[in-house]
Amino acid sequence: MRRTPLIWIVLVSLLFGLSAPWWLGAYFLGIFTTAYYFGVFAMSWDLLFGFAGEVNFGPTFLIGLGAYGAGLLNTAGWPIPLCLAGGALAAVVGGVALALPALRLRGPYFGLITLVAVLLLIDFIVIFAGVTGGEIGMMVPDVLSISARVNYWYAFGFLVISGAILFGLSRSSLGLILQATGQDRIEAAALGFNVTKHKLAAFVISALFSGLAGGMLTFYEGTASVDTVVDLSIAVQIIIAVVFGGRRTILGGVLGAIFLVLFDELLRPLGQLNTFVVSAIALGVILFLPDGVLGVLLRPREGR
Amino acid sequence: MRHRWVVRAGAGAALALALGLGGGTAPARAAGPGPIKIGVIAEESAIVGQSISQGAQLAAADINAHGGVNGRKIEIIVYDDHSSAADAVRAFQRAAEQDHVKAVVTTFISEVALAVEPWAARLHMPTITPAAASDLISKQVHDNYARFKYMFEGWLTAPDLALAVCDSSHDLFVKQLHMKTAVIMSEDADWTKPLDDGMKTCLPKAGLKVLDEIRFNPDTTDFTPIYNKIEALHPDVIETGIAHVGVQPTVQWHDQQVPIVLGGISAQATNPTFWKDTNGAANGVVTQTGTVAGLAITPETLPVAAEFVKKYGHFPAFTGFTAYDAVRALAGAMQRAHSTNPDKIVAQMEKTDMAGTLGHYGFYGRKSPYTHALRYGTDWVSSVFMQWQNGKQVCIWPAKLCPNKMVFPSFVKSVHLAAK
Amino acid sequence: MLALQILIDGFAISALYGLGAVGFTLMFGVCGVLNLAHGGIMVIAGLVGWWAAANYGAGPYGGAAIGTLAGLLAAYVTYFVVVRPIQRSRTIPRAEEEIFLLTGTLLWGIMIQVGSDYVFSNNPVTMRAMIPGVMHIAGVRTPRNEVLIGIVCWAAIGLLTLLVNRTRLGKQLLAASINPRGLTLLGFELSRIYLVVWTIYGLLAGLAGVLLASFIGVSSANAGALTASAFTIVILGGLGSVPGSLIAAYVVGYAETITAYLVAPTLRPIPALLILVVVIYVRPQGLLGRR
């Protein structure tokens, strides 16, 4: 009984996504393309946070490494697929470098270290503005495609494949172990599971998908900038997307991401103030709806 | 049971949303051709950026009042790019694909212009930047004309800006003030690389030996170490290349009483609000600008300035004028081409030869290394140099337009030292 | 001569960093809240102070006072609208409270920044110096305002130290930072203590914002960088440790100044970053941090 809504939701969404190019204009296809990449960001984050229980406040550290890594390689003349691989590798390396000190820490320090990582990356990009374009951003020579439809298919395909893998992982034995260690690390360790190894695995997977998605987003827009892939406001949006969609559901992140992007678009006529309104609403979401949409849908209220 | 209800309601809402989106994107089958849309993508929270959209809208209003373009009105659609290349690209795509603009006027930031340029090429969209100065913008047009020909620069390109600084420095600092040495102080940004290189070459020829070139992070807020470093070299004048910063280095120059003339290019100092923003610390600052209040460079300058003040309540930053001219140039091109076809617009833009608000307005051709940049020279746009004096922007160069004297605060000792 | 220059220049900027960081770390130490709207509060204080001084005719001192009060107000809003509801929420599990607080305060910080952008534009503004002119300290030409700022910062910090160490209220604050549960068992109202801390924090952050506006200038675009800078210093010094933050502020301030003078102005932020990276790997709890 509990499974049914999820399958229906997934099927309806897939139908929507597959049919979109036939009845959505080029502009809205573009909106959804961005939303799909955002969805992958959200899913990667949920794996780490929701399951491994690690409060990662700097998903944009990994995304940024993937995006700028891919962008810089492309400026150096490499073809897109190699750049994407390079960017993902950079993200994984960064993820491991971050995980090593972070996993040794308890309590608030882990989250803080991830936050510091984002700040460090931003500073690094700004200092070496000559190479990275600084705060304003850098242009990359190649793009995936000029056609809105082709870009949409790339993004949709990437989303579906990533979603399948990440969701599958979350329901696999790895996912269960991560959940166990997330909820009670001492007991998990007592049961013989290598807590650190599994959390490290979660980090690596999260980094891989984040970095890859960051790279693809860069080749979709033709630019990499702090504003789109590194800034803390993006990290916050990812967290909001997951909270809104439902933590620990993986797929909820996609819903939340799409909703957030659409909402931002809807408020565009407000001009400068649309960020203000979106942030205010996001604030409302975390204050009043912390379980998120899917969270409410999929978990029956047992005797509350 | 409750779940099914929620799911059905959710599916229904999704369907409604989808239909709304699909319906909203169906192309509108209008009766006639309708207005010609021009997109303006600028940084609305910066005064220099805001003047771009304001100038563009003023130009559209004036053109429409005179019959529009071949009977069609010009409609300006404004997008805020929040000083971000990615936002600008997204806005550009939106303008082209959703709002179906026929041309784009965008930005004063070179990094943003450079990010938009490939998209102008990909989407065949005539695009003009009213202030971005990196020479890469026009170099790409020169090197790869067929691809990048849609891009135009509506202000002087950085190498020409350097020439303007050198020409004016020769007259103002060398001949009038007998100065001999200078230090270049620029923010580390795309537009200042060619500017600094140009200044390093032409300043010695103008009579000023370049003692050092200091480039600082555009995020810098504390300029004390920089000023102290410069002071230790004892130059007569500091030639700046700043746009991202302006208020802070000026205030600190004043508060620390740095005894050296501050000249060169400071884009923010051209803002009419700069005096107030710096609490008067701008007194004595020399900078290049488009024009100042009350100065008639061409017959267009004063009327447009007056209209701007009437409509917006303040004198425009120089980008207000350049954006005005840019829209006029685009409209003129469309008028002559009798078409909004991008290639025809480009062909006619190249033939632009009009009295702009800041000078005789035309673009370099394919023979010049800076194809499609604004022509610089005494017969074209030469820019003017101004100095803030007692709350007013006073024009001081070129002499035949501006016979006013320079006045410096007493702490700027290099003026007196050089005279000896 | 250069050494003296570096000494004086570094002193003022470090004092300013210190003032901002001390409030930040106190907030964490006693209330357990990392307020990511910190930069936003400083910026509002600076902008309102400038506006009051320049447009309202309040003059530099009046403007400074009004700006500081604006900072206090912003801090109160942060507490009552964002932080307290999250802390008291029944739907947010305790374990996730931290991330919700971080997210909530960051969102609020963004709202402040965008709001300031809209009202004031992102053009930097400076408050007129409270004491204009320069003085010569052993041959080094220094603006008088800079000296004043250094003095005011240390006076504020001194007052804070007096409050914490000598008054009854201060002892309650100390106790709350060490063991909040124990304090409630003794009959003290935690919420009253939190209110006191937020008041102190608001005044400190507001003052820091106003002084920053007077010394260097402030704009809505600085909000994020100011939070990041306070954050970095506080992590370096050790979360919750006031002396730690002060030491870290001076380490960072002087490292930056020395780099700007002796190496290159472009590389100014690098030493702080390098130190931070080393600290994270070697001693994550910071110089004087507990745990």
Q: What is the DSSP string of A12-44?
A: HHHHHHHHHHHHS-HHHHHHHHHHHHHHHHHHH
Q: Is the pLDDT of residue B275 over 80?
A: yes
Residue A109 lies in a domain: yes
Query: What pLDDT, on a 0 to 100 scale, did the predictor assign at position B6?
Result: 45
Residue A282 lies in a domain: no
| Chain C closest-CA separation from residue B85 CA (Å) | 16
A256-290: buried (b, 16+ CB within 10 Å) or exposed (e) per residue?
Answer: bbbbbbbebbebeeeeebbbbbbbbebbebbbeeb
**Nearest CA-CA partner of A8 in A297, A300, A264:** A297
Which chains are adjacent to chain C, needing at least 3 Cβ pairs under 8 Å? Answer: A, B
Q: Is the pLDDT of residue B2 over 70?
A: no
- The Cα A250–Cα C117 span in angstroms is 36
Of the residues A131, A223, A272, the best mutation for testing chain B's interface (the one with the most B CB atoms within 10 Å of its CB) is: A223
Q: Do B87 and A224 touch (CB under 8 A)?
A: no
H helices then E strands: how many in chain A? Answer: 15, 2
Q: What residues in C contact A296, CB-CB < 8 Å?
A: none
Of the residues C123, C256, C259, the best mutation for testing chain B's interface (the one with the most B CB atoms within 10 Å of its CB) is: C123
Are A96 and B187 in contact, with CB atoms under 8 Å apart? no
Question: Does C291 lie at the interface with A, CB-CB under 8 angstroms?
Answer: yes
Query: What pLDDT, on a 0 to 100 scale, did the predictor assign at position A57?
Result: 80
The two tokens of residue A249 are: 């559901």
Q: Among A88-102, A263-277, C128-142, C174-188, which stretch is predicted with the lowest mean pLDDT?
A: C174-188
Best mean pLDDT range from A197-206, B384-393, C163-172? B384-393
Query: What pLDDT, on a 0 to 100 scale, did the predictor assign at position A185?
Result: 64
Q: Is the pLDDT of residue C99 over 60?
A: yes
Q: Do A136 and B6 touch (CB under 8 A)?
A: no
Nearest-CB residue to B98 (from A12, A27, A130) = A27
| Chain C closest-CA separation from residue B367 CA (Å) | 37
The mean per-residue pLDDT over the stretch B403-418 comes to 89
Q: What residues in A contact B45, CB-CB < 8 Å?
A: 272
Nearest-CB residue to C216 (from B214, B221, B246) = B221
**Beta-bridge partners for B75:** B37
Q: Is the pLDDT of residue B369 over 70?
A: yes
Residue A23 lies in a domain: no
**Nearest CA-CA partner of B321 in B64, B48, B100:** B48
Q: Is the pLDDT of residue B21 over 50?
A: no
- Which residues 154-173 on chain A approach chain B with CB closer than 8 angstroms? none
Question: Does C16 lie at the interface with B, CB-CB under 8 angstroms?
Answer: no
Residue A254 lies in a domain: no
| Chain C closest-CA separation from residue A13 CA (Å) | 28
Alpha-carbon separation of residue A242 from A57, A205, A248, B224 (angstroms): 13, 17, 8, 45
Q: Is the pLDDT of residue C157 over 60?
A: yes
Are C153 and C19 in contact, with CB atoms under 8 Å apart? yes
Q: What is the DSSP letter of B317?
A: P
**Nearest CA-CA partner of C45 in C254, C176, C199, C218:** C218
Query: What pLDDT, on a 0 to 100 scale, did the predictor assign at position A302?
Result: 45
**Beta-bridge partners for A223:** A139
- Among 1.10.150, 1.10.8, 1.20.272, 1.10.3470, what is the CATH number of C2-282? 1.10.3470
Torsion of CA C255, C258, C260, C262, to 10 degrees: -140
AA letter at C211: L
Average pLDDT, chain B: 89
- The Cα B388–Cα C64 span in angstroms is 27
Please give the span between the terminal C-alpha atoms of chain A, in angstroms, as a whole number: 20
A106 pLDDT band, cuts 50/70/90, is: low
Residue A259 lies in a domain: no
Residue A250 lies in a domain: no
The mean per-residue pLDDT over the stretch B274-278 comes to 88
**Beta-bridge partners for B72:** B69
Tell me the three state secondary structure of residue B289.
strand
Greater confidence (A140 vs A179) lies with A140
Question: Does C257 lie at the interface with B, CB-CB under 8 angstroms?
Answer: yes
- The Cα A163–Cα A161 span in angstroms is 5
**Beta-bridge partners for A138:** A224
Question: Does A12 lie at the interface with B, CB-CB under 8 angstroms?
Answer: yes
- The Cα B196–Cα B202 span in angstroms is 10
Query: What pLDDT, on a 0 to 100 scale, did the predictor assign at position B3?
Result: 46
| Chain A closest-CA separation from residue C5 CA (Å) | 25
Are B195 and C240 in contact, with CB atoms under 8 Å apart? no
pLDDT tens for residues B98-123?
A: 899 999 999 999 989 998 999 999 89
Of the residues A32, A136, A298, the best mutation for testing chain B's interface (the one with the most B CB atoms within 10 Å of its CB) is: A136
The two tokens of residue B126 are: 């005539």
Nearest-CB residue to A16 (from B14, B27, B80) = B14
Q: Do A112 and C277 touch (CB under 8 A)?
A: no
Q: What residues in B contact C125, CB-CB < 8 Å?
A: 247, 277
Q: Do B221 and C118 touch (CB under 8 A)?
A: no
Nearest-CB residue to B97 (from A23, A135, A148) = A148
The two tokens of residue B292 are: 């100042």
Average pLDDT, chain C: 86
Average pLDDT, chain A: 83
Q: Is the pLDDT of residue A239 over 80?
A: yes
Question: Does C140 lie at the interface with B, CB-CB under 8 angstroms?
Answer: no
CB pairs under 8 A between A and C: 109
Secondary-structure percent of chain A, ordered helix, strand, coil, rounded to 5: 80, 0, 20
Query: What pLDDT, on a 0 to 100 scale, did the predictor assign at position A3?
Result: 56
Query: What pLDDT, on a 0 to 100 scale, did the predictor assign at position A107?
Result: 62
- Which residues 150-179 on chain C approach chain A with CB closer than 8 angstroms? none
pLDDT tens for residues A22-55?
A: 888 777 888 899 999 999 999 999 888 766 666 7
Closest-CA residue in chain B for A259?
A: B14
pLDDT tens for residues C186-240?
A: 777 778 888 989 999 999 999 999 999 988 888 888 888 888 888 888 888 887 7
Nearest-CB residue to A109 (from C95, C269, C284) = C284
Q: What residues in A contact B117, CB-CB < 8 Å?
A: 139
Q: Is the pLDDT of residue A178 over 90?
A: no
The mean per-residue pLDDT over the stretch A203-219 comes to 92
Query: What pLDDT, on a 0 to 100 scale, did the predictor assign at position A148?
Result: 80
Q: Do C267 and A127 touch (CB under 8 A)?
A: yes
Nearest-CB residue to B94 (from A23, A27, A136) = A27
Q: Do B188 and A130 touch (CB under 8 A)?
A: yes
Q: Which residues contact B133 (CB under 8 A, 6 or more apart)?
A: B110, B153, B155, B156, B157, B158, B161, B191, B194, B195
Q: What residues in B contact A226, CB-CB < 8 Å?
A: 84
Q: Among A189-198, B67-76, C27-36, C163-172, which stretch is predicted with the lowest mean pLDDT?
A: A189-198
Domains of chain B: 36-157+297-361 (3.40.50.2300), 159-294+382-419 (3.40.50.2300)
Query: What pLDDT, on a 0 to 100 scale, did the predictor assign at position B154?
Result: 94
Query: What pLDDT, on a 0 to 100 scale, did the predictor assign at position B18?
Result: 47
Q: What is the reported pTM?
A: 0.84
Residue A239 lies in a domain: no
Torsion of CA B211, B213, B214, B218, to 10 degrees: 150
B289 pLDDT band, cuts 50/70/90, is: very high
Give the largest Cα separation in chain A, rounded.
Answer: 61
Residue A272 lies in a domain: no
Structural domains counted in chain A: 1
Number of neighbours of residue B25 by Cβ within 10 angstroms: 16
Q: Which domain holds residue A195?
A: 28-231
Question: Does A38 lie at the interface with B, CB-CB under 8 angstroms?
Answer: no
Q: Is the pLDDT of residue A15 over 80?
A: yes
Greater confidence (A285 vs A297) lies with A285
- The Cα C23–Cα C34 span in angstroms is 11
| Chain C closest-CA separation from residue A159 CA (Å) | 25
Q: Is the pLDDT of residue B4 over 60?
A: no
Nearest-CB residue to B89 (from A4, A134, A221) = A221
Q: Is the pLDDT of residue B22 over 60?
A: no
Query: What pLDDT, on a 0 to 100 scale, did the predictor assign at position B173?
Result: 94
Are B253 and B262 in contact, with CB atoms under 8 Å apart? yes
Nearest-CB residue to C216 (from B215, B222, B228) = B222
Give Cα B196 distance to the centre of its chain.
Answer: 18
Q: What residues in C contact A122, CB-CB < 8 Å?
A: 228
Q: Is the pLDDT of residue B376 over 70?
A: yes
Of the residues C7, C266, C267, C270, the best mutation for testing chain B's interface (the one with the most B CB atoms within 10 Å of its CB) is: C266
- The Cα A287–Cα B403 span in angstroms is 65
Q: What is the DSSP letter of C239?
A: T
Q: Do A116 and C280 touch (CB under 8 A)?
A: yes
CA angle A55, A234, A54 (to 5 degrees): 10
Nearest-CB residue to C228 (from A107, A119, A280) = A119
